[in-house]
Amino acid sequence: MSELPVYSAADIAAHSSKDDIWITIHGKVYDVTTYARDHPGGVDLLVDVAGKDATEDYLNVGHSEDADDILEGYLIGIAASPEKPKRSKEIKLVQQVPLPATVKSSSVASGVVKAVAGPLALAGAGYCALTYGPSPRVLLSHLPQLPATSVSSGHSAFAGGFAIASVVSTIGATVVANKLSKLVKLESSLKKYPARRQQLPYIKPGNPHLASGFLDAKAFKPLKVAKIDQLSSNVFKYSFKLPNPRDIVGLPIGQHVAIKATVDGKDVTRSYTPTSNNLDVGLLELVIKIYPDGQLTGKFFANLKAGDEVLFRGPKGAYTHTVGQCKKIGMIAGGTGITPMYQLIRAICEDEYDTTEISLILANRAEEDILLRKELERFARRYPKNFNLWFMLDHPPKDWAYGSGYVTADVMKERLPAPAPDTKIMLCGPPGMINASKKALVTLGFKAPGAVSRMSDEIFCF
């Protein structure tokens, strides 16, 4: 890749016409002019991103592994990396630390003692002296002539009264000052708290299904098989342990993973939807039906044993579920097409904040072909407000409690929500069933989807 030419943004932008289309994806430059007429979504989608970085659009659509291989055939160069902005120098702001409330209140209290005790003591002393000692006139006439070594009886009475009054008044002033000090401290402490304790607003925790984890969208990463459980004659559950017990897969609800293996000397890649999610820490689980002639199931998964490594890449897909995205979801699935539906059903039912209503029609040939039946029926029992379940079989047993035959427009009208702005229908299963379901849904009033599924479609195909 180092030998490829490097193109600037201006060079790439110059190729933005219908007959000259260059695009940038993950830092690589592709000339897709000759491919435009074969593009499944039409030439207009490519013209919209011509001369631009189309990475986000490419990932949002959820292209297959085949599309990635086709794209590499049109690689012509590398996009010049933009100059990274320089980090500004950090500026530290120094803020003065305010004195603690206890220090302030102590200083105030000390000031109150000094301001109150002195005047109270003097006033009390004077009052007692005048009450118990000589008259003021005698006091005034004798004070200048008081000898330093002797005191008359009148003078002794005054001195004693003054001394006693001083002690008593000082004690009284100290008590009053202490009371005032406590009041000051109480007021200071009250100022630290609001008059009424306000209830903090509830903050809903973040969506765990949107958190990143083990998966890498650009590179395949290995996981070892921890356990294989046989669910039926040809259906198996493969459990893989993540590198650390607290790791999560990092797979948004509605998306899937790509698995790559070498079969008969060639790399084969297929997409699968795990039945586990980000709430299952340290674990990734796949439920897979083995077809003897399947490139990846019959020749790879059928031969796996505990300890073998499997390569994973993701997340992939054009759809990601979020709470409140729509009010009602109708689902039509056939055979193994139940796995992406189950992932979504489980996430909605287990989220107490998600009030989305789901109605599922699951079609199979025979009763033993139904995947995840116990899990689906358990969700239908536990969450009747969220999940409504209906099975359809080509060959039902005698006491079959559900439907039989094909999934017709009449069955859809009875079991699925009617067209509405906040309603979405999801399809996954054999191509014949999907095409027939699309036509029937259009007759019921739903808008037909485009060649490439988008999240905004009323009818979304996994």
Binding site for FAD, residues?
A: 270, 272, 287, 289, 339
Q: Is 256 part of the annotated catalytic residue set?
A: yes
What does each C-alpha distance from 166 to 126, 173, 239 come to in angstroms?
8, 10, 91
Per annotation, catalytic residue among 256, 297, 342, 461: 256
Per annotation, catalytic residue among 63, 128, 349, 428: 428
CA 302 to chain CA centroid, Å, is 36
Phi, psi of 291, rounded to the nearest 5 degrees = -105, 125
Q: Which residues are annotated as a binding site?
A: 270, 272, 287, 289, 339
Up-side HSE of residue 230: CA atoms within 13 Å toward CB?
Answer: 7
Residue 237 near residue 276, CB atoms below 8 Å: no
What does each C-alpha distance from 293 to 26, 113, 269, 290 come to in angstroms?
36, 98, 15, 9
Among residues 162, 294, 286, 298, the alpha carbon closest in space to that of 229 is found at 286
Q: Is 273 part of the annotated catalytic residue set?
A: yes
Where do runs of H (alpha helix) occur along 7-93?
9-13, 43-48, 55-61, 65-72
Burial of 323 (0-12, 13-18, 19+ CB in 10 A): middle
3-state secondary structure of 316: strand
CA distance 327 to 350: 16
The DSSP letter of residue 106 is: H
Per annotation, catalytic residue among 269, 273, 297, 356: 273
Sign, CA dihedral 50-55-56-59, equals positive
CA distance 335 to 234: 12
CA distance 198 to 289: 57
3-state secondary structure of 388: strand
Where do runs of H (alpha helix) occur along 145-262?
153-191
Per annotation, catalytic residue among 7, 30, 238, 272: 272
Q: Walk across the sheet containing 387-393 and list its strands.
A: 403-404, 387-393, 357-364, 328-334, 423-428, 459-461
The type of residue at 314 is G
Which residues does the annotation mark as catalytic? Answer: 256, 272-273, 428
